[in-house]
Each structure stands twice: as structure tokens, then as C-alpha cells.
Amino acid sequence: MKLTVTDLTAGYGKAQVLFGLGLEVAEGELVALLGANGAGKTTALRTISGLLKPWSGSVALDGQSLLGVSAARRARLGLGHVPEGRQLFSLMSVEENLLLGAAFLAWPSKSDQLERIYALFPRLAERRGQMAGTLSGGEQQMLAIGRALMGKPRILMVDEPSLGLSPKLAEEVLSTLSQVKKEGVGVLLVEQNVALSLEVADRGYVVEHGRVVLQGSTQELASNEGVQKAYLAL
């Protein structure tokens, strides 16, 4: 499966945020969407997953346009989204949060999925009965990713997983994403932590003011002078 975004423009009210953004993610690759605060990364994800209506441009899965397709239907087509700020159901247990992820996407195989997520995040298995709101920041992020994975997405979009985490935990969370990639899922990672993202990603896009200004393999990006100056503080 392949996610193709072309010439996407979108915004809120009169404020335009995306100015012709384009990108591609295929199954089995980890792609980073990098950029500073306010560059439009989160807006891009919200538009791709159907929470926000695009003004123009297209989002397509395997060449099939998703124009007019609801967010719930996009999820059923295999597009997963871990929203910014985790958005867990804090009064529900870890396991209930996970089951919720499978409820409308992979209900018949929910026990297999649970096992898979607990293998990926052993810490969640230890805390399966605990209320989601009582988890630490890192565990909450793992739960948010696990919940989205429960629905067996083919392409998973993850919004700022390292936000508010210690460097060590951020690394742990990002390295599980590369494990998810090895399972064959395409991962689109939105991050402000450019250095860390470049370590795990296969390739990346740099977004500024709502459009892609630079793209390439992570080596190319890491050795680019502009990237080094603007994001890596070298």
C-alpha cells in the first residue's frame, strides 16, 4: 500500500497552513516529516487522516483518491493516526484503550493483536489493568501507538511521539517505530526532534511554511548544510 499526497492546501478558517504539500509513504518504510513549530506538520496529518477538509490537492491510497472519504472509513482502509498529545481515554484501563483500537478495525483478531502489542511494548503488558491516566508520559505514548496498531494499519502516521519525553524515553519510543516498520507497516513520523528522527528514518521531508522544501535519504538530509544549521545546531 502506498500513500500519496499531492499539492495539498488546507487551513483553519481564513488562515492557510498548507501551501501545496506533497509526500509519499510506502509500506515497510519509515519516513520523517521534519520542521519547526508551525510549519504545518500536524495540519498535514489531520488532513491526510480526514479530520480536516483539504482546500485543494489530493490524498490517495494506492492511487485511489480519498476525497470525500470519512476519517472512520480511511482508518478502515488501513490508514492509522496517532494524534498529537496522545489523546488517551484516561479513565479506561490500558487494555480497554487497546481494545478500543481494534473495536471497529480488527475486532475478530483482537486477542492476537493484544499479544502482538504486548510483545512490542512489554511495559504495557505489566500495566494492562491500570488506568491509562496513571501511566508515565513514555508509557502513555507507547499506549497511544499501540492503540493505533491494534487496528492493523498498513500506513501509520505518528504525531510528535517524543513530545515531553526524556531523551532516553524518546529514543526508546522511536526505536519501537523502526520495529513497527520491520513488520511491514509504513510509518510517517512527524517530529521536531530532527536529530533523533534522522537516526531511525529511511528518508525524510523538511517542511517550511506549509510546503516541502527539501527531501531525500536521511544521510543526504543530515549532511545538508541548511538542515544542519536550522535543525541540528551544528
Partner 1 sequence: MMLAAVLLFLALVLPGLPLGQWRAFALDTAQFAFLISGLALAWDLLARTGQLSLAHGAFFGLGAYAAALSAPALGTVPALLVGGAVAALSSLLLGLATLRLQGMYFAIATLAFSEVMRTLVLKAQFTGGSIGLPVQPAFGGAYPLGGYYLAVAVLVICTLASLLLSRSRLHYAMAATRQGEAVARVLGVPVVRVKLVTFMISAFLAGLAGGVYAMKTLFLSPYDAFGLGRAVEALVIPIFGGLYTTTGPLLGGLIIVSLETWLRLRIGEGYLVVYGVVLVLTILFLPKGLMSLFARRKGARHA
Contact residue for partner 1 among 6, 64, 70, 175 (CB under 8 A):
70
**Region 149-168 residues binding partner 1, contact defined as CB under 8 A:** 151
Q: Residue 158 has what DSSP assignment?
A: E
Smaller CB separation from partner 1, 156 or 212: 156
Strand partners, 8: 21
Q: Could you count the other beta carbons within 10 Å of the beta carbon of residue 38?
A: 12
Q: Alpha-carbon distance 142 to 130, whole Å?
A: 14
Residue from 30, 117, 148, 194 in contact with partner 1 (CB under 8 A): 148
Nearest alpha carbon to residue 78 among 187, 161, 175, 176: 187
Q: How far is the CB of 75 from partner 1 (least distance, A)?
A: 4
Q: How far is the CB of 182 from partner 1 (least distance, A)?
A: 24
Q: Please state the closest distance from residue 117 (CB atom) to partner 1, in A.
A: 14
- Residue choice 69, 92, 120, 230 for contact with partner 1 (CB under 8 A): 92
Residues 40 and 193 sit within 8 Å (Cβ to Cβ): no
Give the one residue of 35, 80, 138, 186 binding partner 1; rule: CB under 8 A.
80
How far is the C-alpha of 143 from the C-alpha of 121, rounded, in Å?
8
Residue 1 touching partner 1 (CB under 8 A): no
Give the nearer residue to partner 1 in terms of CB position, either 96 or 199.
96
Q: Show Cβ contacts of residue 12 under 8 Å, excluding neighbours closer than 6 positions.
A: 43, 52
